[in-house]
Amino acid sequence: MLSRRDIFKYLAGGGVGVGTGLLLGEVNQRPLETLLSTHIPPEDFSPGMDTWYNTLCRMCPAGCGISVRVREGRAKKIEGNPGHPVNRGGTCALGQASLNALYNPDRLRSPMRSDGEGGFVESSWDEALEAIAPRLGAMQSAGMGGRTWILTGGSLSSGEEALDKFGEALGANILRLGLDTPATELAAAKAIYGFNGLPHYDIGSADLVVSFGADFLGAWRSPVGYSKAYGEFRQGGDGHRGYLVQVEPRMSLTGVNADEWLPARPGTEGALALALAAELLGRSGPDAAPAGWEDLPGALSLDEAAALADLPAERLHALAERLASAKTPLVLGGGAAGAGANATETLTCVAALNRVLGAAGTTVRPNLAHAPRYSALSEIEEFVAGAANGEVSLVIVAGVDPLHDLPDSLGLRGALDRAELVVALDSFPSDTASAADWILATDTFFETWDDDISLPGTGKLSVTLQQPVQKRLYDTLSVTDIVLRLAQRSGGALAEALPHEDAEAYTRSEWATAWTNLGIQDDFDAGFRQVQQQGVWVADLAEGMADQFSAEAAAPAAPSEPQFAGDASEYPFVLHPFQTPGLREGKGARLPWIQELPDPQTSVAYGSWVEVNPATADGLDLRDGDVVEVSSQAGTVTAPVLRYPGVRPDVIAMPLGQGHQANGRYAQGRGVNPASLLAARGDDITGALAWAATRVALRKTGERVRMTKTSGVSRTLGRQILGPADEH
Q: Does one domain contain both 312 and 195? A: yes
Q: Does one domain contain both 258 and 291? A: yes
CB 61 within 8 A of CB 579: no
What's residue 370's pLDDT?
A: 62
Question: Residue 543 pLDDT more than 60?
Answer: no
Between vectors from CA 257 to CA 254 and to CA 261, what angle results, nearest 5°?
A: 75
Alpha carbon of 339 to those of 113, 407, 724: distances in Å?
38, 14, 47
Q: Does one domain contain both 129 and 96? A: no
Q: Does one domain contain both 126 and 98? A: no
Q: Which residue would you say has higher pLDDT here, 453 or 319?
A: 319
Question: Residue 23 pLDDT more than 50?
Answer: no
Question: Residue 724 pLDDT more than 60?
Answer: no
What's residue 604's pLDDT?
A: 94
CB 533 within 8 A of CB 35: yes
169: in domain: yes
Cα 552 to Cα 550: distance, rounded to the nearest angstrom: 5
What's residue 554's pLDDT?
A: 87
712: in domain: no
Question: Residue 611 pLDDT more than 50?
Answer: yes
CB 335 within 8 A of CB 248: yes
Q: Does one domain contain both 192 and 206? A: yes
Cα 718 to Cα 715: distance, rounded to the nearest angstrom: 8
74-80 β-sheet, strand order: 51-56, 65-71, 74-80
Cα 107 to Cα 84: distance, rounded to the nearest angstrom: 29
- Residue type present at position 628: V
What's residue 294's pLDDT?
A: 80
pLDDT tens for each residue of 691-723: 999 999 999 999 999 998 888 766 666 666 655
- Closest by CA position to 678, among listed 564, 568, 510: 564
Peptide bond into 456 cis (omega under 30): yes
What average pLDDT does range 23-33 have in this prediction? Answer: 45
The domain of 408 spans 112-180+372-441
711: in domain: no
What's residue 184's pLDDT?
A: 96
492: in domain: no
Cα 37 to Cα 448: distance, rounded to the nearest angstrom: 10
Rounded to 10 degrees, what is the CA torsion of 292, 293, 297, 298?
160
The count of domains in the chain is: 4
> What DSSP letter does each residue of 50-92 carry, written as one string?
-EEEEEE--SSTT--EEEEEEETTEEEEEEE-TT-TTTTT---
Q: Does one domain contain both 193 and 294? A: yes
Q: What is the pTM of this model?
A: 0.92
- Closest by CA position to 135, among listed 486, 481, 435, 414: 486
- Its sign, for the CA torsion 409, 183, 178, 400, is positive
Mean pLDDT is highest, among 196-205, 230-239, 422-431, for 422-431
What is the SS3 string spanning 96-124?
HCCHHHHCCCCCCCCCEEECCCCCEEECC
719: in domain: no
282: in domain: yes
Question: Residue 380 pLDDT more than 90?
Answer: yes
pLDDT confidence bin for 35, thresholds 50/70/90: low
CATH number, position 187: 3.40.228.10
- Closest by CA position to 206, among listed 328, 316, 67: 328
CATH number, position 653: 2.40.40.20
Q: Does one domain contain both 246 and 331? A: yes
Last residue of a domain, one of 316, 349, 365: 365
Q: Does one domain contain both 249 and 277? A: yes
> From its phi and psi, is residue 372 left (phi > 0), alpha (psi between -120 and 50) or beta?
beta
CATH number, position 402: 3.40.50.740
What's residue 212's pLDDT?
A: 98
Helices within 285-312 (DSSP H only): 302-309
556: in domain: no
pLDDT confidence bin for 727, thresholds 50/70/90: very low
CB atoms within 10 A of CB 142: 9
726: in domain: no
Last residue of a domain, one of 330, 365, 400: 365
Q: Does one domain contain both 581 and 532? A: no
Residue 16, CB-side half-sphere exposure with 13 Å CA sphere: 22
What rounded mean pLDDT belongs to the chain? 91
CATH number, position 469: 3.30.200.210
What's residue 93's pLDDT?
A: 96
What is the SS3 string spanning 340-382?
CCCHHHHHHHHHHHHHHHCCECCCEECCCCCCCCCCCHHHHHH
CB atoms within 10 A of CB 727: 7
- Closest by CA position to 66, among listed 52, 54, 50: 54
Q: Does one domain contain both 208 and 353? A: yes
Q: Does one domain contain both 206 and 284? A: yes
687 DSSP assignment: -
Q: Does one domain contain both 270 and 397? A: no
Last residue of a domain, one of 341, 365, 389: 365
